[in-house]
Amino acid sequence: MSPNLVYVVVIGVLFGAGVSLLLERTLTRVLIGVVLIGNGVNVLILMGGAYGTPPIIGEAPVEGMSDPLPQAMILTAIVITLGITAFLLALAYRSWQLLGHDEVQDDAEDTRIIELAERDEIPHAKESETEDLPSPVYDAGPGWAER
Amino acid sequence: MSFLVPLPVIIPALGAALTLMMARRPGAQRAVSLTALTTTLVVSSALLVVTAAEGPQVVAVGGWPPPLGIILVADKLAALMLVVSTAVTLCVLVYSIGQGSADGDEETPLSVYHPTYLALTAGVTNAFLSGDLFNLYVGFEILLVASYVLLTLGSTENRIRAGTTYVVVSLLSSVIFLSALGLVYAATGTLNMAQLAGRFDELPDNLRLLLQGMLLLAFGIKAAVFPLGAWLPDSYPTAPAPVTAVFAGLLTKVGVYAIIRTETLLFPDGRIADVLMVISLLTMVVGILGAVAQSDIKRLLSFTLISHIGYMLFGVALASEAGLSGAIFYIAHHITIQTTLFLAAGLVERRGGTTALDRLGGLGRIAPLLSVLFFIPALNLAGIPPFSGFLGKLGLLQAGVDESGPLVWAVVAGGVLTSLLTLYAIGRVWNLAFWRAPHPDLPRADDDSEGSTVLLPKLMVAPTFALVAFSVALTVVAGPLFGITSEAAADLLARTPYIEAVFPDGAP
Amino acid sequence: MTVLLACYASMAVLAPALVRWLGPKALYAVAAVPAATFAWALAHTGAMRSGGAVTEVHPWVPQLGQELAFRMTAFPWLMVLLVSGVGALVLAYSAHYFPAGEAGLGRFAAVFVGFAGAMLGLVVADDLLLLYVFWELTSVFSYLLIGHDPTRRASRWAAMQALLVTTLGGLAMLVGFIMLGQHAGTYRLSAVVEDLPGGAYLVVALVMVLLGALSKSALFPFSFWLPNAMAAPTPVSAYLHAAAMVKAGVFLIGMLTPVFAADPPWREAVWACGALTFLFGGWTALRQTDLKLMLAYGTVSQLGMIGIVLGSGFRDAALAGAALLAGHAMFKAALFLVVGIVDKTTGTREIYSLSGLGARRPALAAVAVLAVASMIGLPPTFGFVAKEAMLAAFWDGGPWERAMLACLVAGAALTVAYGLRFLWGAFARKPGLDDTDAAPAGPGFLAAPALLALAGLAAGLLAPGADGLLAPYADRYPDTGHAYHLALWHGLTPALGLSLAALAAGFGLYLATRRTSAWRAVKLRLTSGAVYRQAQNGIDRLAVELTGRTQRGSLPFYLGVILVSLVVLAGGLLLFDGPWPHRFRLFDTPLQLAAGGIIVAAAIAAALARRRLTAMVLTGVSGYGVAALFIFHGAPDLALTQFLVETVTIVMFVLVLRRLPPRFSERPLKKVRRFRVAIGVAVGVVAAGMAYVAVGSREAEPISELFPDLAVSYGGGHNIVNVILVDIRAWDTMGEIAVLLVAATGVASLIFGRDKAMHRRGGSRPAPPKTGEHVKWLSRPETDGSHQAIILQVVTRLLFHTIVLFSIYLLFTGHNHPGGGFAGGLVAGLALAVRYLAGGRAELNAAAPVDAGRLLGTGLLVSVGTGAASMLLGGQVLQSAILDVEVPLLGHLHFVTSTFFDIGVYLIVVGLVLDILRSLGAEIDRHRESGDGPENAAPLPEKEAA
């Protein structure tokens, strides 16, 4: 098949815009990014099937029909994206409800380890041998002759 | 016997529908869930027996012959994965019911939990059985969306934060997978995996490599391999204990399963074996060092989870029968053991009130049974013989030594080092949480038997115990089990058993 | 032998109960198992003397060459006797050592007997992998035993150190074993000998195996863990760290030397490490003031010596080595047990705190003297016999043996010195110190060390008998000259001279240590304890640094890593060699260009928008543009669905965005923003490039070519896309509606939270409306009598039924025309949305008086049930049937069973939209009315706000 350049450009822009939003910290923006990329993927799948008349038998000759299989795939993808969009929106709302914003926070525990790394320390919950160890080589204890 | 094949998906799906309809009757929900998963386990076991005896079982859904419609294929690998995963899922279900009963069902909305949990199971089983690349995507979506819901159960602040990370990263992996599917169809005009096996051979090398890379990327995120897996420790540990347990056991393994399936069936030329080798080494070492740095049991376990994915990847990269066999065995082992450990960590959390190592201590004396339930799987994870972790590792190391070459040796060394560091990390948990003098904040129920049953409900201990027993049983039946995994590996490498089962008259 | 091992395992399980029942005396019962093993081994004495073997093989994992293969020949037999005999005695001793209320005694008994079993398995294993299994088990049991008192940090730390060091060695050994086994084609210890290739491979394998042996036996460079392990209770030290576990390393050397002695670097490495250990250990033992530590370093030293001798690879040395091993087990266990009694009865082990104990406890002192006599090699003890054999064997050897001999004599002298110092330190009366008070030790307490010490004496007296038992092992080696025999008296031999010289030198050294303290300044720092500490610290530091770098905890970082991987991987391949197709077209119809332009413009604007609403609307526009693109492509179903989905999405966005701030928060640093955009552009380019390349490379015909023919005849429908959805790929659709069901449930779970609130999803309990509330953006008045709302409500009520009817029409016509369950369900959902927007949740409840969850459940049940039903009727899952029936009055009815499936889809989609409206609509309304704002609003982190 020969690629359709309009599709190629649309895919590129939808992915590009979507990805740049995806990398944001605001969940709403991330969500919009997801929606845009989702559309981009759909066009990408569409491009994998032939262009033509609607694939409905009896309304047009079979030879010139568009490929129905990518369409079914896209339909599945569209509907799944709908469900996920709803879920992400609920997540954004809940985040706002709890925190007053819908920014994605960094992980606290990871941040703690990053700080340990910056201070050149070792994990705090670990055992060191510093306390109450028998020191195997005793240098204390005077030699007998000294007594 | 091929009528069995769709049942592991159908039964949990029906269960999900029923439990959602009876949302206000928790007793009925529990009964339906237990029945559904028990039946699924029975069916899966039957499938394993059948596939082992008669070879791969194929079902053309809707009666549409391949490659037109969707096919479900149960070969030895899929059947084995089904059995192990449903067994684990069932145990975790009992555990969660125990936890729910103990908490008066206040913590988790059960009307959500059961349907979602069953849907998750259906997604996992669908992914294992699918013989169609797009359907594999759908299976992934089911289990992923279910996992989003389970991870954010109760929607506390922590879970929302962790859930967001998890959901968005998973979405990206889904997007990559779906794009890859679009590209695959664009390039080959089919989605049937057995047919793709042939059609990929006709593509230009570079394009095939591109598609392989995209699929690997998508699965690699799910399997949490380095450097794509850093999201995992930030998200899993915040979920309720049974949810974390089942995620840890199953979800990453579905990714590994997909890698094994596609690499062996679609891309058997082994052109990227070296890349996989390097990734497996990095996954092991970076993951286990991450575990060493942690001071919370659940997070530490999450890092060991990532790290040991590296072992399985090593087996895939070797692409020899022994290597694949070891990898498959290791998956079965790791599903069991990682789940068990997270369940045990859940018990630690109940008994000790936390999983933070600096606030735990003395559990060995206070809760001897719990310490056994943690100690045995912990040793197993660290690959201490005679447990299954050792046998899996042994299989992989043998396969590695057979192969030789500097890169393989590096991974062998890395694997051994990882094993030792796993012992170090897990030993620290033991030293601090179980051996130290009890922490003053520890809930008091030392000798009060009534109190200790509330803190450690029988319905939570029993499934943990069952899983520990199951993991020990893996050692006992290791001979026959390795028999199955070797045959599965041989079938995967030969490709023909799979393809011929789908297309008895030759691929179109 | 498996029966014996099973006995150990059962006893390990029973032991805690026994201890709870009987107290410390239960240890006698536990001791029965090793005692029985001892008796069993004795029963095989005859066979061993004649060079026979007891074997037993069971399969385990044949694919890995892992068998339960056991084989007992003379040398393992000796070890069985030692580990079971000493084990039984130490257990009996422990019954007196531990007080009645000792914490964790049940666990101690279980672990101890478990250890004894593992040790038994180790020495009789004939499969290298099985040997490794028991090897590691002994490490684990040792870990648990060292940590007997886990509240002491020292115990925990020492236990961990011992475990890690021995496991490190063990793992190296495992790799070595695998290298040997894979090349030899067998892991059978007794068969691995044949067909081994030489060269670098073998060298590496042997070094790996040796690492295991050295670490287990605390030989250089792994000596440091053993003295630390003395944190264990003394019976444990006596057994594990003198008689049993630490012997495993030298035992392995003894088992493999007949095979590998001639292969470099086996002997060289063993000698070098052994010699260093021997001398270093001896000297350091001399410097100790704690009796137990003195013995511990003595053990290190002796293990070095035994290693040298067993690793030498000729007959006489092997004989001497076996004898030394046996002698050491007896006297060292006895001495440890003596120290345990001293410690228990006086409360100290410090030589400068003990005084006059010999006079007060003559029996104890006598036992100690007897054991030390064996240690320093005084006739007629077995220690003397063994040492004679050793010196004689090396005297007869070549120049390297002679060189080694000097080292052995020096070490022997050191042994004499610290042996005497031990006796003096424990029992002598020291001027300036009062006699130490000592509680009485009963005969039962003293019995075990006494028996062990006497055994050393008896074995010495019966040396020729011992010779007959050990000779079968020694005879496996190449014989150099005449065969030596163990005996008390060989005449005036050079060996005797050397022995006397060592005694004299040792005595002199001992006297010197009493006179001056200058020697104390000579510290030998050969052990790698510091290295271990540095390594541990280094690993901890590395872990933190690496984790700090890779585990950033930031979602954009994780996404960035994934996307960069994508760009590098796919972009690299595309740049390297596309393969770029040469034919392409600009568009199929110019309308595509127009739609494409709108999509591109709207998408870019959406990415740049600063207000949520703007971004949302622009996204919607680009979505509608995609719908247009679908129409022009020839995909009406798709366009219809996309259009409806886009509309539902906008409704959802509006419902949620009304509560969020209108503007996005300010973006962070400029650098980050540039990076973000750069990744976006790169991914866009790569995605476009991949699409171009993949589409251009298509040669094969798509499988959908066959669909048109089959859609009507087999699927019973004219709309191929719908036939695909409900029939050809109905399995996908089933999964997809499962996704919707779960997503809907998830939305409800997030918004409603707790279980009780979840019941509002049914819409049965509308909250009383509030009046006089400030009307916000897009909030609809409730039933508070606004005229506009009433008009809107009336209109929507009029339209509602029509729209629902239309949706049902779409559902049923879908099989032949654009439409179907999805489109129909979405239309019905939109009808509900309109009702809700017009009249709030009361209207919604009036329009759909059903529980969303139940609707969803029913939908999935219907769809999946259709699939299951077709199986019950004998078809494949989800197989559809075309029913053409003549119905009276209605006439010909053409019906495809997949319609049921589509009804399920319809129900699910309606359920989803209803659920969204109840959650994101009605429940959020309720939150707002009850004033539920952010629960614990924290200010944004600074870099966000900047």
What tens digit of pLDDT does each residue of C189-229 get?
A: 888 766 677 788 899 999 999 999 999 999 988 988 999 99
Section C663-687 average pLDDT: 86
- Model confidence band, residue A146 (pLDDT cutoffs 50, 70, 90): very low
Residue C81 predicted with pLDDT over 70: yes
- Residue A96 and residue C934 in contact, taking contact as beta carbons nearer than 8 Å: yes
Kindly state whether residue C687 falls inside one of the protein's structural domains: no
Residue type at C369 in one-letter notation: V
Instruction: In whole angstroms, give the CA distance from residue A22 to residue A13.
Output: 14
Say yes or no for a CB contact (<8 Å) between C687 and B186: no
Query: Measured on CA atoms in the order C834, C839, C840, C842, is the torsion positive or negative?
Result: negative
H runs (alpha helix) in C609-729: 612-633, 636-657, 670-696, 707-713, 720-723
Would you state the pLDDT for residue C482? Answer: 73
Residue C778 predicted with pLDDT over 60: no
- Which of B126, B276, B423, B436 to mutate to probe the C interface, most C CBs <10 Å? B423
Residue B239 predicted with pLDDT over 70: yes
Contacts of B171 in chain A (CB under 8 A): 34, 84
Residue C517 predicted with pLDDT over 90: no
Say yes or no for a CB contact (<8 Å) between C516 and A26: no
User: In chain C, what percentage of residues exceed pLDDT 90?
Assistant: 62
Interface predicted TM-score (ipTM): 0.95
Kindly state whether residue C494 falls inside one of the protein's structural domains: yes
- Residue B40 and residue B12 in contact, taking contact as beta carbons nearer than 8 Å: yes
pLDDT digits (tens, 9 = 90+) for C703-749: 998 898 888 888 888 999 999 999 999 999 999 999 999 999 999 98
pLDDT digits (tens, 9 = 90+) for C306-335: 999 999 988 999 999 999 999 999 999 999
Section C128-136 average pLDDT: 96
Domain boundary among C502, C522, C542: C522
User: How close C145 gets to chain B, by Cα (Å)?
Assistant: 12
What's the token pair of residue B206? 């570079």
Kindly state whether residue C605 falls inside one of the protein's structural domains: no
Nearest CA in chain C to A88: C747
- Which of C721, C725, C740 to mutate to probe the A interface, most A CBs <10 Å? C721
**CB-based contact, A62 to chain B, within 8 Å:** no
User: How close A145 gets to chain B, by Cα (Å)?
Assistant: 42
- Which of C723, C742, C863, C903 to mutate to probe the B interface, most B CBs <10 Å? C742
What's the token pair of residue C767? 């909250």
What's the domain range around C427?
275-522
Nearest CA in chain C to B24: C759
Would you state the pLDDT for residue B315? Answer: 96
- Residue A116 and residue C772 in contact, taking contact as beta carbons nearer than 8 Å: no
Would you state the pLDDT for residue C479? Answer: 74
Under 8 Å CB-to-CB from C180, ≥6 apart: which residues?
Answer: C128, C192, C196, C205, C209
On average, the pLDDT of chain A sits at: 83
**CB-based contact, A97 to chain C, within 8 Å:** yes
Say yes or no for a CB contact (<8 Å) between A25 and C685: no
Would you state the pLDDT for residue C715? Answer: 83
Among B169, B183, B368, select the one facing C690 at the smallest CB separation. B183
Under 8 Å CB-to-CB from B98, ≥6 apart: which residues?
Answer: B457, B458, B459, B460, B461, B462, B463
DSSP state of C483: P
Lowest mean pLDDT, pick from A56-60, C758-762, C766-770:
C766-770
Residue C869 predicted with pLDDT over 80: yes
Section B243-263 average pLDDT: 95
Q: In what helix (H) or strand (E) does residue C905 lie, and over which residues does it extend?
A: helix C898-916
Contacts of B183 in chain C (CB under 8 A): 690-691, 694
Residue C944 predicted with pLDDT over 50: no
Would you state the pLDDT for residue C246? Answer: 93
| Structural domain boundaries in chain B | 272-476
- Model confidence band, residue C490 (pLDDT cutoffs 50, 70, 90): confident
On average, the pLDDT of chain B sits at: 92
Nearest CA in chain A to C633: A51
User: How close A121 gets to chain B, by Cα (Å)?
Assistant: 10
Say yes or no for a CB contact (<8 Å) between B17 and C563: no
Would you state the pLDDT for residue B376? Answer: 96
Among B16, B148, B292, select the one facing C741 at the smallest CB separation. B16
Contacts of C160 in chain A (CB under 8 A): 127
DSSP state of C127: B
Between A134 and C125, residue with greater pLDDT: C125
Instruction: In whole angstroms, give the CA distance from residue C718 to residue B64.
Output: 17
Residue C847 predicted with pLDDT over 90: no
> C694-705: buried (b, 16+ CB within 10 Å) or exposed (e) per residue?
bbbbbebebbbe
Would you state the pLDDT for residue C807? Answer: 93
- Model confidence band, residue B447 (pLDDT cutoffs 50, 70, 90): very low
Say yes or no for a CB contact (<8 Å) between C688 and A110: no
Section B185-209 average pLDDT: 93
- Which of B2, B3, B20, B357 to mutate to probe the C interface, most C CBs <10 Å? B20
Would you state the pLDDT for residue C757? Answer: 62
> B86-116: buried (b, 16+ CB within 10 Å) or exposed (e) per residue?
bbbbbbbbbbbbbbbebeebebbbbbbbbbb
- Model confidence band, residue A104 (pLDDT cutoffs 50, 70, 90): confident
What's the token pair of residue B122? 């259906």
Would you state the pLDDT for residue B182? Answer: 96
- Residue C449 and residue C337 in contact, taking contact as beta carbons nearer than 8 Å: yes
* Domains: count for chain C: 2
Would you say domain A5-118 falls under CATH 1.10.10? no
Query: Measured on CA atoms in the order C844, C847, C851, C855, is the torsion positive or negative?
Result: negative
- Which of C616, C747, C943 to mutate to probe the A interface, most A CBs <10 Å? C747
pLDDT digits (tens, 9 = 90+) for C15-25: 999 999 998 99
Residue A130 predicted with pLDDT over 50: no
**CB-based contact, A35 to chain B, within 8 Å:** no
Say yes or no for a CB contact (<8 Å) between C154 and A132: yes
Between B13 and A1, residue with greater pLDDT: B13
Say yes or no for a CB contact (<8 Å) between C562 and B20: no
pLDDT digits (tens, 9 = 90+) for B120-163: 999 999 999 999 999 999 999 999 999 999 999 888 888 999 99
Under 8 Å CB-to-CB from B482, ≥6 apart: which residues?
Answer: B325, B329, B391, B395, C61, C62, C63, C64
Would you state the pLDDT for residue C126? Answer: 93
**CB-based contact, A47 to chain B, within 8 Å:** yes
Under 8 Å CB-to-CB from C534, ≥6 apart: which residues?
Answer: none
User: How close B182 gets to chain A, by Cα (Å)?
Assistant: 4
Give me the residue label for tokens 């090398």.
Answer: B205
Among C550, C694, C736, select the one facing B187 at the smallest CB separation. C694
Section C480-501 average pLDDT: 87
Q: In what helix (H) or strand (E) does residue C921 lie, and over which residues does it extend?
A: none
| Structural domain boundaries in chain A | 5-118
Say yes or no for a CB contact (<8 Å) between C626 and A42: yes
Section C640-658 average pLDDT: 94
Residue type at C758 in one-letter notation: M
Please provide residue C381's backbone torsions phi and psi, each rounded to the nearest 5 degrees.
-75, 165
User: How close A12 gets to chain B, by Cα (Å)?
Assistant: 12
Among A48, A76, A105, select the one facing B185 at the smallest CB separation. A48
Kindly state whether residue C708 falls inside one of the protein's structural domains: yes
Q: Chain B window 434-493: which residues touch C at a Cβ cutoff of 8 Å? A: 434-437, 478-479, 482-483, 486
C490: exposed, middle or buried (Cβ count in 10 Å: 0-12, 13-18, 19+):
middle
Lowest mean pLDDT, pick from B436-440, C5-9, C553-557:
B436-440
For residue A25, give the nearest of A80, A113, A87, A92 by alpha carbon: A92
Say yes or no for a CB contact (<8 Å) between C933 and A97: yes
Instruction: In whole angstroms, give the CA distance from residue B231 to residue C788.
Output: 50
How far does CA A36 lie from the centroid of its chain? 15
Domain boundary among C506, C522, C538: C522
